[in-house]
Homo-oligomer: A and B are copies of this chain.
């Protein structure tokens, strides 16, 4: 995400400035990368899944993808509303993502549960750091990140309950 400095003339004025803007911008761009990649690996698993629990998990993965897409849009639009430029291009996501990548090919259902337990568990940790980071910097952004965290923790439980 482009922060104020290296854009000569910001076109959208921001209600934040200085360090608060920087901190909030990093939290938002980090969340965006997480959520966009969650949508991609969620679909990857939705397609390549095999095993006796195929149908249940195939549907659950689409729930996760829907949450990830909706929240990604909110997070990115929150960034623009603060005068920042979110970056959700494939190369940026591929370069910056901290999401564990599945191998290409079939994904057994029990393997899928293990992978997404880890993916969501790690993502929740990063989201909680962002919630802490933005508490002073921007409570409006924090409230959105709290809502995202709540969604992800719920999915985290519902996946790992199937171990």
Q: Which residues of A contact B (CB under 8 A)?
A: 2, 7, 11-13, 15, 36-37, 40-41, 43-44, 47-60, 69, 72-73, 76-82, 85-95, 97, 101-102, 104-106, 110, 121, 124-125, 128, 131, 135, 139-140, 142-144, 146-147, 149-150, 153-154, 156-158, 160-163
Contact = CB atoms under 8 A, between A and B. Distances in A.
A47 B106 contact: no
User: From DSSP, what is the main secondary structure of chain A's interface residues?
Assistant: helix
Given A40-B90, A60-B55, A161-B54, A78 B150 contact: yes
B12 A50 contact: yes
A77 to B, nearest CB: 6
A81 B153 contact: yes
